[in-house]
Structure 1
């Protein structure tokens, strides 16, 4: 299933391969560029590189490039994901529904994604990840992953490793394909075309893909719920409901159903008890469990020899992704003054004086109504999109005597926007004070009951828009210095220039006098990065001078210095060794330093967000505590740093043809991590609160709370500060440390049995530990195998049979047991496995319509296994970072080639 990259097409920073004869997949021979090194034609010493060829990609049941990558157990499913919007691993910053790659669980922002070895513009509204799904699977010649620190080669972000998307090269002909998918209450459509033409001195490649998948409604998935009583836990539905609850002090009085609030009597408001429950509403009412995605992807490349030894090339891609998603309705704890035309209070209740922010006359008393705007405006439709592109051009020159030079320039941009409705607070406060039933806001009805004109006045909107631009210029020279008995000593020296620009813009009318006026926050931070790097490869022993006990010995060393205009410089080395005592066995090791620069969003104070939310809290009688939640950037951030080393072995015994075994031990010490330790909606649980220390303030003063509620970044409905019983500070700081070690293994076998080929294998990873401290005052705590963190063991196995016409492969996906520590007592979650199936049948020259026609049938989760029940305070009844809520999904496709 996963092949070594030693014999595959690969790429280095900015280099483009020269014209060569294609293989069966339309890829050039692997002799020029390599993932994980700057030296052409040399496999990376010591570092494991695994990946998919185009043929393997076509035989996988996964639909998108990201789905393919996430089948590798070394890629952890935490972080930016369309399936998870919780706060763990900063996933709640992913407001446009993208999917990032997270190698070794170090974070999506610590995995560097490349296209043909070239940097790409950062994606996500915080520039915190890149979603490879923007590339059509049909245009990929090879998809490679190096799970090892790569900053000495590539610079920032390669702490966890590198994902390199390598496009097809000398492809002659055309392929077209269509696919249709269906599951429970969800469907998908996919179509694409790739065409290429080669000539003696160059080649052209064009590709297009369309992808569309419905959104999955939460109502169609029973485990997508926040009422966890059926699973032995608390009801975590909100008290902000429709109809809502009148709240005085800590007592709630449910507003009766079946009335419009115009004749509600005080006697009808009865204090909630176990027999008279408060009104509660799911945060997922009307919401999407998985967003719908609609994407258009384009790619083009052109290579042309200008003279013998001089080649020019250009390539570019464009993708547009539209999100189809609904989230829960707007909610608020409304401070309703006695002047409200519909006002009614429980009989005998003592009401507090209104807060000054309500704007009522002095001496007026208020009550709180826990209210959902669902019946007024419905769920919030998240209108979001991503538009991303890059163009690049370069020259490759053969200088003679084994030396080559290359240079390129590229420009790319990622544009993302999201709009959704909210509430215009000044107009709402005025409508709540209003004494006329014709124009006042009515929070006491069961099915709305407010005049349509009043609703139009209070319905606001917010736009969040970002644009990440990257200009990149790279020049490099590499070649042979001198000869050793084992071969030529090779060296590469290069320089790189990057210019980053991040445009952050919000426009809303939540705090303006009316919905016709808007508040704008605009920040455009910039930075430049100037880099120089060098790498040397020394083949001490090879087939040229092998001797008993030492078939191969090679070492490499790399050094890179990067200078940032906004926080200074960093220098990172890497050393590697590879030793083969006998044929078929290689021992290897690496040691290096890596770093991650803070993104421009990380350092942007304009990203401060202030919200008031109900946090799950086991110390609260109701299970929920009203909490002031802070998030955002910090101008004082510096780079993260890591020391990474690994040891590994690769076995390909001659006596067992077709068998390959690879095992790697890794050790990562990651310091000065940019953390938002308080960006955690589970912050008030017993497992989390002790770790966060001073970032949590219980019973904050009304003055402190009001100081944040008065900021323009607070876009919620004003409420009484006395009702807010906790403050959680989730802003970013350089305080974290992470130490982890584990094993990654890959075993594959392929052999002939009569007229058929059999293949079998498995790939997996095992974390020995994942020790984390989110504050410098806290000790390192092993959080492996706990909710929201990497599982200790994940594996994927494959077993297949094929001949010239047919191929059938089965896959098993296994996740080991782990602990759900978000609840008390801690839950032991059992191991979980699902099965996938892929079948292909090919006709040669069917009726003369095409060279080949292939029918594909793929089934993900063949037995339609539900995710394990994992009640958690996200809140959900399953863990979306471990198991998919999609269920069985069948895809049928046709692919024709000419």
Structure 2
């Protein structure tokens, strides 16, 4: 049994060695409700906070909220929204830009509070929805968030369907831009990794004119540009071994090899003319059982080349002393270019027009003088990888546009806010090289112009070049138009204080279109879109919500909220929320909430065109190669250790997910300079929408026999892996926060902080009514759609110092270890492999002594710590898990900011 990793051990690690904490992103604010930023008295201003529609004093809230200030994450060199959220302990796993390697139709980058899936975390910009990513359209692409325009990020670590409706089961992340700005500001930043690849550049220009209070108007705009170079698998020690990694027992490879393996149709035997000497042609090929296997994961890019640009403009106008009108426009676009091993051509063993085969008339037929060895003289069906045509390159382009017209202020004693917003997200996947016209390859092999066993001559090279495919083969668009209105006021006074009340409504129209260009997609099976059909969907959403804040007695407040949503395609749902805040003394406060939640299936989950794509991992056909041993009718190069096709896509019969959430917390302030908090959370989800883990399908072929679709000859065509309603999920644990501002000294000011999450349970069902499986500190299929791990303990800790114009920040990010995936590609001796804990430090220093200039320099991953070794094969990057580890390594960064006026 694996040894359980707990909180005490991690705390000992954190404080051992004298220097064990670094600046957390919460160094200045652990909880929005109870944090002080300085010793000066704070003016009690009524504001709207994330998670409530009632304007109130921030300290009155009942739900736990984490606030991350822009100054904090800028100092530490964060260049993307995903990187900012990586230091939030409750955001355990993310789909990052690096996770796009080998994956198509993705969200780009997404948050995932509580490890419940990115589709259960609601992402807002200034309190309003963005259109979900056009591909994987159940989450917002974090790459479109313009972080140069941000003032802060508020993370509500509690279910909030009663306030915001769908998607808010795991929590809410609200990116809040500057309200107004005057002046002109230019900043430039460069990040240089110590190892090859991954260098970054970032520039942004922001400016504003007019004082909203004095002049009655303000115009504010930001232009933000960021790019990052790619990283090759060969550039990092943790990934360069690919699927042949004895350090973790990983033994994964592809039978689609260069040089090609063949199936001699007449005698029915497999072979390779270079058997025993496969590596003489490429370092990625090796010998096994009379054929060549190909280590494709050693010949990929592990970090994509990315480019992002965002433009945000906002104009605000005072209508009178109490009312403001504003217009806000956002345009953001990103490009993600990924590189994987060369195109594959898997013969079906038929020697017919559907096969990839050569005849004895080919000059490259074994024994004809160029290729060594000999064959029977009959057709040879091939399993070939076109290494000589280069890596397959895909560029995903995503863009978002959003226009918001809004009014807010006070009328007739009511605080109100209303707005009309239009948001559209577009995405397209482009072929940029290495994808080859399958029909031309079949013809080229048959005519003898292509050499499947060795380097191409001039004619073969020219032919492969002419077979290259370029252009957009899939595109998608999601569109959201909404109008919302919220009004709040104090209704009357009770002996303990005024009763707050809010009421509001929303009407939203959602549209989605998914298009496949079959004129291009059908030319190469690697696109996976031959069987996909263009589709579209739309729906109307109507909502009405209300909220009450009741001071029962001086020390006890009660909040009540309810929201009714009606979806034109899946029906209506009512979700309440109850919150209690009890403060028996100034130094201590208790809080608790209970709420129900729901998530309607997204238009993408309902209407995504079904398409074939390769499984993430390599498997054995349970019929033709059980346990890795070729059975009657099986072909080793085709049926053993292969990435098979899976059919993925939407399901119009999906039902909404439902949830119950409970929190119970305490905040103490024993002295004014120390704040500590602990919050218990308990979340249960029913009817989870996801896909069955492909590992589960191959590990239990009897249970999932109906998901295997075979060809007439018995070989595996694909496994069915479309969206379904699975069973339930149950998770619970504790969030811990600590913030200590040490007394001022002659040597400067010091502060310590900690933001941590300790999970005590994460159980899930892989099917409705099935047994509960553990995903806590064990790699499993409960996280998201591709499996993953829930860490028992994760924290960000910090130490910060400032004195005059100087400031230094040291940050530590720590996660406990877990039991590895230990799948079918792992040798028996490593079936109990455990991934070690993971600790990174980031250091930065800032100087503001020059007029109008701020200079920052620092080191990310100070001790150049590699991601912990893992034998996971659910991702295309082998040797480590890209969702949790930083493969860039030690990187130096500098940032200069100049304030013109």
TM-score by length of 1: 0.84
Counterparts of residues 207-246 of structure 1 (less than 5 Å): 207-224=222-239, 225-246=241-262
C-alpha separation in 2, matches of 1:612 and 1:801: 49
C-alpha separation in 1, matches of 2:124 and 2:568: 23
2:244–2:295 contact (8 Å) kept in structure 1: no
Change (3 A) 1:472 1:514: closer
Counterparts of residues 610-649 of structure 1 (less than 5 Å): 611=614, 615-617=618-620, 619-621=627-629, 624-625=641-642, 627-649=644-666
Displacement after TM superposition at 1:750 (Å): 0.8
Change (3 A) 1:29 1:182: farther
Change (3 A) 1:641 1:86: farther
Q: For residue 79 of structure 2, give the secondary structure of its aligned residue in structure 1.
A: coil
Structure 2 gaps of 5+ residues are: 1-23, 348-354, 368-372, 621-625, 630-635, 780-787
- State which of 705, 718, 728 in structure 1 corresponds to 2:719: 728
- State which of 59, 74, 87 in structure 1 corresponds to 2:90: 74
Q: Do structure 1's residue 481 and structure 2's residue 499 form an aligned pair?
A: no
Displacement after TM superposition at 1:298 (Å): 1.2
C-alpha separation in 2, matches of 1:588 and 1:251: 71
- State which of 670, 673, 679 in structure 1 corresponds to 2:688: 673
1:658–1:751 contact (8 Å) kept in structure 2: yes
In structure 2, the partner of 1:840 is: 846
1:697–1:727 contact (8 Å) kept in structure 2: no
Counterparts of residues 367-516 of structure 1 (less than 5 Å): 367-375=380-388, 377-401=389-413, 403-420=414-431, 422-432=435-445, 434=446, 436-437=447-448, 440-447=449-456, 451=460, 454-455=463-464, 458-461=467-470, 463-509=473-519
Displacement after TM superposition at 1:296 (Å): 1.1
Q: Which runs of 4+ in 1 moved over 6 A?
A: 257-260, 272-276, 345-351, 517-520
Q: For residue 148 of structure 2, give the secondary structure of its aligned residue in structure 1.
A: helix
Change (3 A) 1:368 1:8: farther
In structure 1, the partner of 2:815 is: 815
Q: Do structure 1's residue 758 and structure 2's residue 750 form an aligned pair?
A: yes
Q: Do structure 1's residue 280 and structure 2's residue 293 form an aligned pair?
A: yes
C-alpha separation in 2, matches of 1:442 and 1:639: 53
Displacement after TM superposition at 1:129 (Å): 2.0
Structure 1 gaps of 5+ residues are: 10-21, 261-267, 352-364, 543-551, 704-720, 846-851
2:132–2:138 contact (8 Å) kept in structure 1: yes
1:28–1:170 contact (8 Å) kept in structure 2: no
In structure 2, the partner of 1:572 is: 575
Q: For residue 786 of structure 1, give the secondary structure of its aligned residue in structure 2.
A: coil
C-alpha separation in 2, matches of 1:885 and 1:652: 39
Displacement after TM superposition at 1:57 (Å): 3.0
Change (3 A) 1:62 1:444: same
Q: For residue 114 of structure 2, give the secondary structure of its aligned residue in structure 1.
A: coil
In structure 1, the partner of 2:888 is: 886
C-alpha separation in 1, matches of 2:524 and 2:687: 45
Which digits, 9 at most, give the CA deviation of each residue in 1:319-357, with x for residues without a partner?
121223222211121334564742736989789xxxxxx
Q: Do structure 1's residue 153 and structure 2's residue 174 form an aligned pair?
A: no
Which digits, 9 at most, give the CA deviation of each residue in 1:761-811, with x for residues without a partner?
111111111101121142111111123121111111111211121111111
In structure 2, the partner of 1:344 is: 365
Displacement after TM superposition at 1:485 (Å): 1.6
C-alpha separation in 2, matches of 1:514 and 1:218: 25
Change (3 A) 1:380 1:478: same
Displacement after TM superposition at 1:606 (Å): 2.1
C-alpha separation in 2, matches of 1:84 and 1:675: 18
C-alpha separation in 1, matches of 2:428 and 2:697: 32
Q: Do structure 1's residue 289 and structure 2's residue 291 form an aligned pair?
A: no
1:591–1:646 contact (8 Å) kept in structure 2: yes
Displacement after TM superposition at 1:189 (Å): 1.0
Change (3 A) 1:194 1:463: same
- State which of 546, 549, 560 in structure 2 corresponds to 1:557: 560
Change (3 A) 1:722 1:803: same
- State which of 121, 141, 144 in structure 2 corresponds to 1:111: 121
C-alpha separation in 2, matches of 1:780 and 1:345: 54
1:397–1:405 contact (8 Å) kept in structure 2: yes
Which digits, 9 at most, give the CA deviation of each residue in 1:656-701, with x for residues without a partner?
23111111110011011111014x3x3466xxx24x8643569864
Displacement after TM superposition at 1:652 (Å): 1.4
Please provide the CA RMSD for this pair.
3.3
Q: For residue 785 of structure 1, give the secondary structure of its aligned residue in structure 2.
A: coil
C-alpha separation in 1, matches of 2:294 and 2:518: 27
- State which of 741, 760, 763 in structure 2 corresponds to 1:771: 763
Which digits, 9 at most, give the CA deviation of each residue in 1:413-440, with x for residues without a partner?
11111112534334444444x4x44xx5
C-alpha separation in 2, matches of 1:671 and 1:23: 44
In structure 1, the partner of 2:835 is: 829
Displacement after TM superposition at 1:397 (Å): 4.1
In structure 1, the partner of 2:795 is: 795
C-alpha separation in 1, matches of 2:338 and 2:766: 32
| Number of aligned residues | 807
C-alpha separation in 2, matches of 1:282 and 1:273: 8
C-alpha separation in 2, matches of 1:298 and 1:337: 52
In structure 2, the partner of 1:781 is: 773
2:709–2:720 contact (8 Å) kept in structure 1: no
Displacement after TM superposition at 1:123 (Å): 1.4
In structure 2, the partner of 1:706 is: none
1:603–1:634 contact (8 Å) kept in structure 2: yes
Counterparts of residues 88-107 of structure 1 (less than 5 Å): 92=103, 95=106, 98-107=108-117
Which digits, 9 at most, give the CA deviation of each residue in 1:274-297, with x for residues without a partner?
787632323235421101211111
C-alpha separation in 1, matches of 2:648 and 2:835: 31
C-alpha separation in 2, matches of 1:325 and 1:274: 28
Displacement after TM superposition at 1:171 (Å): 2.7
1:695–1:728 contact (8 Å) kept in structure 2: no
Q: For residue 464 of structure 2, give the secondary structure of its aligned residue in structure 1.
A: helix
- State which of 339, 350, 358 in structure 2 corresponds to 1:326: 339
Change (3 A) 1:30 1:333: farther
Q: For residue 609 of structure 2, give the secondary structure of its aligned residue in structure 1.
A: helix
Change (3 A) 1:274 1:429: closer
Change (3 A) 1:455 1:509: farther
2:646–2:720 contact (8 Å) kept in structure 1: yes
Q: For residue 869 of structure 1, give the secondary structure of its aligned residue in structure 2.
A: coil
C-alpha separation in 2, matches of 1:519 and 1:697: 19
Q: Do structure 1's residue 539 and structure 2's residue 551 form an aligned pair?
A: yes
In structure 1, the partner of 2:7 is: none
Counterparts of residues 21-100 of structure 1 (less than 5 Å): 31-43=46-58, 45-78=61-94, 80-85=95-100, 92=103, 95=106, 98-100=108-110
1:425–1:510 contact (8 Å) kept in structure 2: no
Displacement after TM superposition at 1:251 (Å): 5.5
Displacement after TM superposition at 1:505 (Å): 1.1
C-alpha separation in 1, matches of 2:886 and 2:680: 29
Q: For residue 843 of structure 1, give the secondary structure of its aligned residue in structure 2.
A: coil
Q: Do structure 1's residue 599 and structure 2's residue 610 form an aligned pair?
A: no
In structure 2, the partner of 1:204 is: 219
- State which of 165, 169, 173 in structure 2 corresponds to 1:163: 173
Change (3 A) 1:321 1:606: same
TM-score by length of 2: 0.83
Q: For residue 284 of structure 1, give the secondary structure of its aligned residue in structure 2.
A: helix
Greater relative CO (CA pairs within 8 A, separation 6+): 2
Q: For residue 190 of structure 2, give the secondary structure of its aligned residue in structure 1.
A: strand
